[in-house]
Amino acid sequence: MTTRNTLVPSVLWWFNQSFLLEYVKMPSTPLIEIKHISKNFGGVQALRDVSFRVERGEMHALVGENGAGKSTLMKILSGVQTDYEGALIINGTPVKFNGTRDAEAAGISIIHQELNLVENLTVAANIFLGREKTNGGWFLDDRAMERESAELLGQLDCDINPRQRVSELRVGDQQLIEIAKALSLDAELIIMDEPTSALTESEVERLFRVIDQLLARGKTIIYISHKMEEIFRRSERITIMRDGTHVTTKRCAELSPKEVTHLMVGREIESTALGKNRQPGETLLKVENLSLPWPGHVRQWRLKDVNLELKRGEVVGVAGLMGAGRTELLECLFGATDVAPQGRIVLEGNDVSFKHPAEAMAAGIGLVTEDRKRLGLFSHMNIRENITLCTLSSLTASGLISSRQEREATGASIRKLGVKAAGPEAPILSLSGGNQQKCVIARWLRTEPRLLLLDDPTRGVDVGAKAEIYQIIDELCREGMGLLMTSSELPELMIVCDRILVLCEGRLTGEFTRDQFSEAAIMEAATGSVTTAAM
Amino acid sequence: MSELPSSNSSRVNSGKSIWSRLPIELGLLIAIAAVICFTATVDDSYRVKTAYNAKEILRQTSLLGIFALGAAIVIISGGIDLSSGSVIAFSGMICCSIMLALAPVDSAGNPDTTNLGVGILLLAISGTLFVGLIIGTFHAWLITVIGLPPFVATLASLVGLRSLGRVLIQDINAAVTTSGSSTKIYISDPLFNDLGRIWWVPLVVFLVLSFLLWLLMSRTQIGRHLYAMGGNEDAARLSGIRTDKQKWLAYCIGSVTASIAGILYCSYVGEANPESAGMGYELNAIAAAVIGGCSLTGGIGTITGTMLGALFLRVVIDSVAKTVKGSPDEFEGLIVGLLVVLAVAFNELRTGAIRQKKFFAGKLGFVSLFILSGLVGIMGGVLSTSNQLRWGTLCGVLALILLGGKAFWERRSR
């Protein structure tokens, strides 16, 4: 064992390390030992020499900001990512997974943040997907699968019909199906990647009851989350990661939530620096009774009767859980929805109803989309082409694009937003997430919008670039632009915004001005009225 | 973090092999030169009748290239147009029908197409191009408004248009001539026939069209938007690009170029015959585009690449026709199929690491050993002139030994 070798040099040094105590308490081999794991994604070092261990039967919290490397590490653990440096030791034997099946066979199951279910199949079919039970090897034995599914779900104290289609279930129930699937695989270790990001309060309570049960049955859980109360509620130890490196692993009792946040970020976020002395001007946007139908869904409305007002030189945040309608709200304003919204949208005093994003763009609105890879970037194009795409008509001379003008425009944008790149001709994918996002923002700024919609603009962006994006937002606001932004991270909205609107299941359930900001109150609004609204 | 992007991108570039930095156009030029040199050494036709061969190859390349450009633009925009072969047949029929209907009537009451005059010719051509525009518009409507996948929408045209042409031509013949419902229309107007028969006419049309489309694709906003839409349609729409209009344009270019080719083919053979004209040409066009570097996933490809792709395809087909002394028509499909697979595989491999690639991994790899050897054996047999069975067996066994050796080495090095 490595512990013995390292014990020899300096006993004193070891005394300072708190986890010496743990070896006294838990002398057995850890369930999982992660040793010097590094991973390089083409351009970006996602993991750098990460080592820690997960003991058998513990709930181990893994925290870190977006881009800290948690997800990459979990992908390695669950066999999704098979190419890395370093070693993975399970039950004392080194393993090398060649795919998710290998990981499942070794007793590791992962419940992804974005659930991995086939929505048009039944609950039972999903639980047994890829391992279907058969009669004599040819025909599916639905009855046996349904019986066993009902049993598994019963163990989790939840009442879901195994014959129901997954698409008809609420997100919280869908998550339990993933957990039931993990149980059916007889998983030793269950990894939960931000499991509560889309759950209501009562669903979170139920999830924790299930977690209690799993722990009582001797399962090990790695729990990934941003939310401190959840982390401190049940976990025995916390591992903190930052920028792809392992910061520390400590017992929960030795840390306070504040210390954890501090270690996660690596420095204090100067939350007071932004938003001071902003001078909101006249009303830019007014939305009255905006509703977005949701055909064929029990909820019927993606958005229902939303009212809001936005002034020039103001940043308004939209908070809410996953599926609350944040993205849909921005899409309505941008004319990008499949179904036409109802209600009134007044932009600069004129009633507008956009049928295509091109009309919204012409009216002075820009939208920085949420899912950068899927909806924002043109990955086969270079930086220049990505930045100038929306404004080529201003760079043409007699119908032809002037490459000189285009180069100059790109250069100006790159300088203005501080994009760090090898040059304007570098492929957009060679940039880090933060710089890619700056390019997308630059594309929209070149259209000189008066209203900029930002949908979770710092998702997958490292800490440094985050601060720079906040700075850009602040500057734009002071130049008189109106900004409406959403975020999956509440603290971020509290730093950047003048006001925060809260959506819950498509309805506006709260509005807070800067002096009223409190994480607890906003979360309450985001989850509070859920049970009544859903009925 | 801040220094990462620049340092990494430079390292990524330097890490790649020389192949990946070579533009596809240069690679094609080298390949074309190599094939021509090979043919010239094996067969004396290139040396004895240089001018004739060059003109023939250029004519064939131009005829193929004209609608390959259309196919390339549809592919770059993220779609696929399977209909060009049928559009060629249908447009030829339309063009000849217009000329037939407007031709002066002789004493026996039949239209006389020996001297039509420029006016009728222009009318026929513009009418045909208009029909091409209509077909493209119809495709765009099916795809954007009805929401059919491009594959299905243009597949319907591929099957339907040729059939429609065959039905229509009989009715038109019955209505205009006294000879009844013939399935062909012959046009003997020398001016019209010159369009396809003088070698430089198709070439000039091809070059002018290439230049215009090159301008469109690489120097205008529309072209940039087509590339963007092909690469990421959702992002393009959310960037305020009118993707429906872009698609309309792409499919119209696809079918109008096919119509131009249809007119030229028709004038070359002097008849409209929707039963066999342009049969299977849609795949040749797609093949030329793909060989020229267009990616079927959209967003990638160039006009110059497609031009050279068409030239390469024709040069190889001609080379086989010259060296094997068989009928080039019979070999054409085989060559196109082989070249497409090789070109795409080559493109994949030059960006990936060719040395680490395992070709015969797993059970599929094992079975493919025998499939490939069998194919080589059949080819060997077909291409040899005497003792075909013996040559075929020899080639097959030789291939099996070579490929088996490679497979064995791959499995050991694991």
CATH of the domain at B273: 1.10.3470
| Residue pair A372/A434 in contact by the 8 Å Cβ criterion | no
Kindly state whether A393 is in contact with chain B, defined as any CB-CB distance less than 8 angstroms: yes
Quick one: B320 and B366 in the same domain?
no
pTM: 0.79
Task: Mark whether B284 and B315 lie in a shared domain.
Answer: yes
Q: Decide if B255 is inside a domain.
A: yes
Judge whether A69 and A142 are in contact, CB under 8 Å: no
SS (H, E, C) chain B: CCCHHHHHHHHHHHHCCHHHHCCHHHHHHHHHHHHHHHHHHHCCHHHHCHHHHHHHHHHHHHHHHHHHHHHHHHHHCCCCCCCHHHHHHHHHHHHHHHHHHHCCECCCCCECCCCCCHHHHHHHHHHHHHHHHHHHHHHHHHHHHHCCCHHHHHHHHHHHHHHHHHHHHHHHHHHHCCCCCCCCEECCCHHHHHHHHCCHHHHHHHHHHHHHHHHHHHHCHHHHHHHHHHHCHHHHHHCCCCHHHHHHHHHHHHHHHHHHHHHHHHHHHCEECCCCCCCCHHHHHHHHHHHCCCCCCCCCCCHHHHHHHHHHHHHHHHHHHHHHCCCHHHHHHHHHHHHHHHHHHHHHHHHCCCCCCCCCCHHHHHHHHHHHHHHHHHHHHHHCCCCHHHHHHHHHHHHHHHHHHHHHHHHHCC
Residue pLDDT, tens place only, A39-77: 887 656 788 899 999 999 899 999 887 667 888 888 888
One pLDDT digit (tens) per residue for chain B, 414 residues: 333 333 333 333 333 445 555 678 888 999 999 999 999 998 888 888 889 999 999 999 999 999 999 999 999 999 999 999 999 999 999 999 999 999 888 888 788 888 888 999 999 999 999 999 999 999 999 999 999 999 999 999 999 999 999 999 999 988 888 877 788 888 888 899 888 889 999 999 999 999 999 999 999 999 999 999 999 999 999 999 999 999 999 999 999 999 999 999 999 999 999 998 989 899 999 999 999 999 888 999 999 999 999 999 999 988 888 887 666 677 788 888 888 888 878 777 766 555 567 778 788 888 999 999 999 898 888 877 778 889 899 999 999 999 898 888 888 875
Q: Which of residues 171-230 of B touch A (CB under 8 A)?
A: 215, 219-221, 224-225, 227-228
Flag whether pLDDT at A476 surpasses 90. yes
Nearest to B238 among A369, A385, A465 (CB): A369
- CB within 8 Å: B235 and A374: yes
pLDDT at A275 over 80: no
Q: How far is CA B131 from the centre of its chain?
A: 21
pLDDT score of A136: 79
pLDDT tens digit sequence for A186-201? 888 999 988 877 777 7
Q: Which domain holds residue B391?
A: 362-412
Partner-chain residue, chosen from B6, B228, B241, that has the shortest CB–CB distance to A422: B6
Nearest alpha-carbon partner for B186 in B276, B125, B96, B317: B96
Does residue A2 sit in helix, strand or coil? helix
User: Is B15 domain-assigned?
Assistant: no
Residues of A in contact with B1 (CB under 8 A): 243, 432, 434, 462, 464-465
Give B178 or A409, the one with higher predicted confidence: A409
How many angstroms separate the CA atoms of B88 and B279, rounded?
A: 9
Taking the C-alpha atoms of residue A439 and residue B235, their distance in angstroms, rounded to an integer, is 14
- Residue B179 resides in a domain: yes
Q: Is the predicted pLDDT of residue A8 greater than 70, yes or no?
A: no
The burial of B168, by beta-carbon neighbours within 10 Å (0-12 exposed, 13-18 middle, 19 or more buried), is given as middle
In this structure, is residue B222 part of a structural domain? yes
| Among chain A residues, CA nearest to B297 | A380
A106-165 residues touching B, CB cutoff 8 A: none
* Among candidate residues B351, B380, B402, the one where a domain is terminated: B351
Residues of B in contact with A379 (CB under 8 A): 231-232
Closest CA to B172 of B273, B92, B277, B101: B101
What is the pLDDT, as a whole number, of residue B16? 43
Residues B380 and B327 in one domain: no
Is residue B356 a part of any domain in this protein? no
Q: Which of residues 288-307 of B touch A (CB under 8 A)?
A: 299-300
Residues 296-325 of A with CB under 8 A from B: none
Residues B346 and B368 in one domain: no
Helix (H) or strand (E) holding A442: helix A433-445
Instruction: Look at B240 and A396 and tell me if their CB atoms are within 8 Å.
Output: no
Same domain, yes or no: B139 and B172: yes
B225 vs A contacts (CB less than 8 Å):
389, 392
At residue A1, the pLDDT reads 41
Q: What is the pLDDT of residue B359?
A: 78
Nearest to A42 among B6, B12, B240 (CB): B12
b vs e for B293-332, b when ≥16 Cβ sit within 10 Å of the residue's Cβ?
Answer: bbbeebbbbbbbbbbbbbbbbbbbbbbbbbebeeeeeebb
Residues B190, B230 within the same domain: yes
In a shared domain, residues B316 and B402:
no
Cβ contact A392–B227 (<8 Å): no
Report if residue B7 sits inside a domain: no
Q: Where are the beta strands (DSSP E) in A433-535?
A: 451-455, 482-486, 499-504, 507-513
Chain A interface, best mutation among B21, B221, B296, B356, by max A CB count within 10 A: B221
The closest alpha carbon to B250, from B62, B64, B80, B66, belongs to B80
Residue B340 lies in a domain: yes
Q: Look at residue B52 in the predicted model and tell me its pLDDT.
A: 92
- Nearest alpha carbon to residue B340 among B139, B53, B71: B71
Q: Is the pLDDT of residue A7 over 60?
A: no
Q: Are residues B280 and B393 in the same domain?
A: no
Query: Both B382 and B340 in a single domain?
Result: no
Residue B235: which of A377, A400, A434 has the nearest Cβ?
A: A377
Using the 3D structure, point to which of B351, B377, B397 is the last residue of a domain: B351
* Crossing angle of helices A433-445 and A403-417, rounded to 10°: 120
For residues A477 and A496, the answer to whether their CB atoms sit within 8 Å is: no
Exposure of B75 by Cβ count < 10 A (0-12 exposed, 13-18 middle, 19+ buried)? buried
Closest residue in B to A380 (Cα–Cα): B231
Q: How many domains does chain B have?
A: 2
Q: How confident is the model over A116-164, as pLDDT tens digits?
A: 888 888 999 999 888 888 887 788 888 889 999 998 888 877 788 899 8
Verify that B214 and B73 share a domain, yes or no.
yes
Confidence class for position A237, pLDDT limits 50, 70, 90: very high
Q: How many residues does chain A have?
A: 535
Percent of chain A predicted with pLDDT > 90 = 35
Q: Which amino acid is at B234?
A: D
Cβ contacts of B77 on chain A, cutoff 8 Å: none
Cβ pair B126, B148 in contact under 8 A: no
Other CB atoms within a 10 A radius of the CB of residue A400 amount to 15
pLDDT one-digit tens code per residue, A157-170: 778 889 988 888 87
Q: What pLDDT does B6 receive?
A: 36
Nearest to A380 among B3, B234, B299 (CB): B299
pLDDT at A170: 79
Q: Is residue B9 in some structural domain? A: no
* Average pLDDT of chain A to the nearest whole number: 84
How far is Cα B333 from Cα B345, in angstroms, rounded to an integer?
Answer: 18
Claim to verify: residue B322 and residue B380 sit in the same structural domain: no
Q: What's the pLDDT at B234?
A: 92
- Of B324, B351, B378, the position where a domain reaches its end is B351
A392 vs A421, more confident: A392
B292 near B65, Cβ under 8 Å? no
Do B289 and B370 fall into the same domain?
no
d(CA A113, CA A70): 12
Write down all domains in chain A, each with its CATH number in brackets: 21-265 (3.40.50.300), 270-364+449-535 (3.40.50.300), 377-447 (no CATH)
- In this prediction, residues A372-383 reach a mean pLDDT of 90
